Amino acid sequence: MRSELLNEKIKGLPENPGVYIMRNSVGEIIYIGKAVVLRNRVRQYFNNSPKLPKVQAMVDNIADFEYIITLSEKDALTLEANLVKKHKPKYNILLKDDKHSPYIRIDTSLEFPALEVTRKLRKDGAKYFGPYFNGINVKDVVNIVKTAYGMRTCRAGMKQSRNSRECLDYFIGLCKAPCTKRVSAEEYRETVDRVIAFLSGKDDTAEKLIEQRMERAAQSEDFERAITYRNQLGVLKKLNERTVANLGNITDIDAFGYTTDGAGAVVSVCIVRGGKMMGVRNFYVTDAGLGYSDTVTGFMGQYYRKDMFVPREICLPEAVDSAEALCGSLSSLCGKKVDITYPKIGAKKSLITCAERNAADFLVKSSAEQKRKEDMTAGACERLAGILGIPSARRMECYDISNISGVDKVSSQVVFIGGAPSRADYRKYRIKTVEGANDFASMEETLRRRFSRAKAGDEKFSDLPDLIVIDGGKGQLSSAHEAMLSLGYEIPMVGLAKREEEIFKVGESEPILLSKSDNALKLLQRIRDEAHRFAITYHRTLRKSRYVSMLEKIPLVGPVKAKILLAAFADFNDIKEADEAALAAIDGIDKAAARSVYEFFRGDGLGR
C-alpha cells in the first residue's frame, strides 16, 4: 500500500517538462527519468495497468519520489543523462564509461604527418578513421600501413636532420625515415595521400604490395616474416568485407535495433563510417522506463559523449517520444545538425534489420550471463546487507594502507556501487602525520581526512557510503570506527581479516564466517583486493619518483638516464650494488655515466 504522503505527491504533480527521481525505503535513488509532462509520466508508474517485470520490480521498491522542473524537454534530457551518470541508479541504463573504440588519426597540417592511434575524437582539423572493433585490431591496421606504405608512427614533434639516426623501422622497410631526409616532403605527401585513400577504402595497392613481400620472404626461406605478411592479408580481407555494396551514397550513419524479453533488453548499434560497415555493438540494458521509447532515448543519453563521433543521421526502427528534443541535444553535443529518421525501405532499413537481428541473438546468448552478473553484483549487495543486518550495501567504500618500513606511506579509498567498481570515485592519500610504520594511525588519518572533506561540503566527498570495509581484523576496525565517530558520522563498518576471511562487525567479538562460494564474501574480497591493488600502485609510483629524484643527484645522470636505470634493474639496491661493466652494458647509459653511478654509491653518496 502506498503511503498517504506519496498519494498526495502524485496528485500534486505539475504539467511541466522535467526530471523525476524515485527513491526506495532507505532513501537510495533507484531510478531517474525525464518527462514532457511530469504529471502524466509519473502517474503511469502508479496506475493499475500491467507493466513489464523490470518496471514492476522498480515500482514495488518506490517509497518516495521528487522532481525537478526544467524550462524545456531538451533541458530535461540533458539533466536526466547527467544525473544518471552521477548517481548510477539501479534501474537505469548504466553503460560503463570505459575506453572508447580506437581510431587512427592523421594530422595533415604537419609537413610529415604520423600515423597515430587515439580513443578520443577532437575537432582539431585532423583526419580520423574508425572506429575499429568486432575482430579488427587497430594495431594490425597500423602495421599494414607501415608494411605497405612506410608511413611513420613516431612522435608528431619530429624535425628533419641529417645528424639524426634512423630507427629500426627504416632498416626493416617499415618507415621512409623523413626524420633523416631519406624522403622529400613532396614524396612523403604522396605517401600520406595514398594512406588516406587506403583507410577510406579507395586504394587497393596494399594487398598487392604485401603479397609481393610475402612471396619474397617465402623464397628467401624467411618463413616467420612470411607468416606475418599472411596474417596481415587476413586482416585486409576482414577490412574489405566491411564494405557494403548497396549502401549507395550513405557515408556516416548509426542504425539502432532493439529487442526485449520483459526482464531485460538489448540495444544494438550498426555503425557505418566512410561508406564502410564498421560492425555492430550490442548492449544489454535493464532500464525501468515504460518501454521502447524510454529505453532508446535513455540509452542515447549515455552512449553519445562529447569526445565521440556523432553521425549526421541516426536511424531508429520506430518513432520515439522527444525526438525533436533528442535531435537538439545531440546537435548541441557535437556542434552540427543531427537528424533522427525511421526508414522503412532501402539500405538504411537493411542496416536497422541487421542491428535488430544482432540484438535478438545477443539477448538469447547474454540473458544467463547477465543473471550471473546480477547475482555477483547487485544481488551480492542485497545479500550482504541482509547478513550484516543493515539497510543497504549498495555504495561501499574500502580502505587500505601501503608502505615499506614506514617510508612512502599511502592509503587508498575505492568505491563500489551496486557491486561494481566506480573508479571515478576512487581517492588516494599520502599519509602526512604518522611517524614510522603505524597502520592503525595511518587509517585514522585517512578516515579523518575523508570525512572532514565531507563535513566541509566538498562535493567530491559528499556521497556517503552505505557500508565501509576495512582491510583487517578487530584492531584495525576499532581504530577506524573511532576515527569516524570523532567526526560525527556513524556508518556501518566491517573488517575483513585475510587469513580466514573472517568478517568482523563493530562491537561483536565473534566474526561472521561465510562459505568461500558465497557471493557476499566474494564481493567483500573483490573490494578489499581492489583497495590493496590501488594502494600498492600509488605507493610504487611515489617510490619510483623518489628514486628518480635520488638518481638525478648523481653527476651525468639526468631524468632520462635515471628512468633507464630503474627500468633495467628489478630493485633500487641492485643499482647500488652493480659494477661499472654491468651499468655500462645498459642501452642508453654511456661509460662516463656508468662510472659516475658506480663511484657515487661507493663514495660519500647515497650508498654510504
Q: What amino acid is encoded at 331 in this protein? A: S
Query: Counting runs of H as helices and runs of E as strands, what totals does the chain give?
Result: 20, 18
pLDDT (tens digit per residue) in 284-320: 888 888 889 989 998 998 898 877 788 999 999 999 9
pLDDT value of residue 179: 84
pLDDT mean across residues, the chain: 86
By C-alpha distance, which of 208, 206, 192 is closest to 140?
Answer: 206
SS3 278: strand
Q: Would you say 298 and 273 are in contact if contact means Cβ atoms under 8 Å apart?
A: no
Q: Are strands 276-285 and 265-273 parallel, antiparallel or unpaired?
A: antiparallel
pLDDT value of residue 364: 86
pLDDT (tens digit per residue) in 63-110: 999 999 999 999 999 999 899 988 889 888 877 644 567 888 999 888
Helices assigned H by DSSP within 242-345: 292-303, 323-334
pLDDT value of residue 586: 85
Answer whether residue 245 shows pLDDT above 60.
no
Query: Per DSSP, what are the bridge partners of residue 106?
Result: 115, 127
Which three three-digit cell numbers place residue 337?
545538425
Q: What is the rounded end-to-end Cα distance, in angstroms, of the chain?
A: 77
Mean pLDDT lowest for which of 19-23, 444-448, 585-589? Answer: 585-589
Quote the CA–CA distance of 64 and 347 in Å, as a whole number.
47
pTM of the predicted model, to two decimals? 0.65
By C-alpha distance, which of 412, 435, 361 is closest to 529?
Answer: 412
Query: For a pLDDT cut of 90, what percent of the chain falls above it?
Result: 33
pLDDT value of residue 243: 54
Quote the CA–CA distance of 203 and 206 in Å, as a whole number.
8
Answer whether residue 604 shows pLDDT above 60.
no
By C-alpha distance, which of 80, 72, 91, 65 is closest to 10?
Answer: 65
Say which residue the cell 569526445 belongs to: 307
pLDDT (tens digit per residue) in 181-217: 888 889 999 989 988 888 877 777 888 888 888 888 8
Query: Per DSSP, what are the bridge partners of residue 505?
Result: 494
Residue scoring higher pLDDT (67 or 509): 67
pLDDT (tens digit per residue) in 359-390: 998 898 887 888 888 889 989 999 999 999 99
By C-alpha distance, which of 273, 477, 247, 495 is closest to 349?
Answer: 247
Which three three-digit cell numbers place residue 126?
585532423
Q: Are strands 64-69 and 18-23 parallel, antiparallel or unpaired?
A: antiparallel
Q: Would you say 432 and 360 are in contact if contact means Cβ atoms under 8 Å apart?
A: no
Which three three-digit cell numbers place residue 49?
495497468
Return the H-helix or E-strand segment holding 185. Answer: helix 185-199
- Mean pLDDT along residues 516-535: 94
Which three three-digit cell numbers place residue 354?
541487421
Quote the CA–CA distance of 324 and 322 in Å, as a whole number.
6
Quote the CA–CA distance of 416 and 422 in Å, as a whole number.
5
- Mean pLDDT along residues 31-56: 90
Quote the CA–CA distance of 514 and 520 in Å, as a whole number.
8
SS3 179: helix
Q: What is the DSSP string of 3-67?
A: -HHHHHHHHT--SS-EEEEEE-TTS-EEEEEEESSHHHHHHHHHSSS---HHHHHHHTT--EEEE
Helices assigned H by DSSP within 116-200: 138-149, 168-171, 185-199
Burial class (CB in 10 A: 0-12, 13-18, 19+), 248: exposed
Q: Would you say 315 and 107 are in contact if contact means Cβ atoms under 8 Å apart?
A: no
Mean pLDDT lowest for which of 4-13, 336-345, 476-485, 598-607? Answer: 598-607
Answer whether residue 156 shows pLDDT above 70.
no
Quote the CA–CA distance of 369 and 8 in Å, as a whole number.
41
pLDDT value of residue 608: 43
- Mean pLDDT along residues 396-419: 87
pLDDT value of residue 603: 65
The helix, strand and coil proportions of the chain, stated in percent and rounded to the nearest 5, come to: 45, 15, 35
Highest mean pLDDT among 19-33, 135-149, 249-263: 19-33
Domains observed in the chain: 4-87 (3.40.1440.10), 103-242 (no CATH), 247-375 (3.30.420.10), 382-540 (3.30.420.340), 553-601 (1.10.150)
pLDDT value of residue 366: 82
Q: Would you say 179 and 152 are in contact if contact means Cβ atoms under 8 Å apart?
A: yes
Q: Would you say 287 and 294 are in contact if contact means Cβ atoms under 8 Å apart?
A: yes
Answer whether residue 426 shows pLDDT above 60.
yes
Quote the CA–CA distance of 287 and 53 in Å, as a whole number.
11
Give the alpha-carbon dihedral of 456, 462, 464, 468, to 10 degrees.
Answer: -70
Which three three-digit cell numbers place residue 220?
628467401
pLDDT value of residue 296: 92
pLDDT value of residue 539: 82
Which three three-digit cell numbers place residue 274?
566512410
- Mean pLDDT along residues 11-17: 93
Q: Which residues of 199-228 are buried (b: 16+ CB within 10 A; e: fewer)?
A: beeebeebbeebeebbeebeeeeeeeebeb
Mean pLDDT lowest for which of 36-40, 69-73, 337-341, 542-546? Answer: 542-546
Which three three-digit cell numbers place residue 503?
568478517
Q: Would you say 474 and 496 are in contact if contact means Cβ atoms under 8 Å apart?
A: no
Q: What amino acid is encoded at 243 in this protein? A: T
pLDDT value of residue 406: 60
pLDDT value of residue 185: 87
Q: What is the DSSP string of 95-113?
A: ----PPPPEEEE-TTSSS-
Which three three-digit cell numbers place residue 403?
608502505
Which three three-digit cell numbers place residue 602?
661507493
Q: Are strands 313-315 and 253-260 parallel, antiparallel or unpaired?
A: parallel
Helices assigned H by DSSP within 553-579: 559-568, 572-577
Rg (CA), the chain: 30
Answer whether residue 556 shows pLDDT above 70.
yes
| Cα-based distances in Å from 307 to 103, 120, 333, 562 | 12, 5, 9, 36
Answer whether residue 401 shows pLDDT above 50.
yes
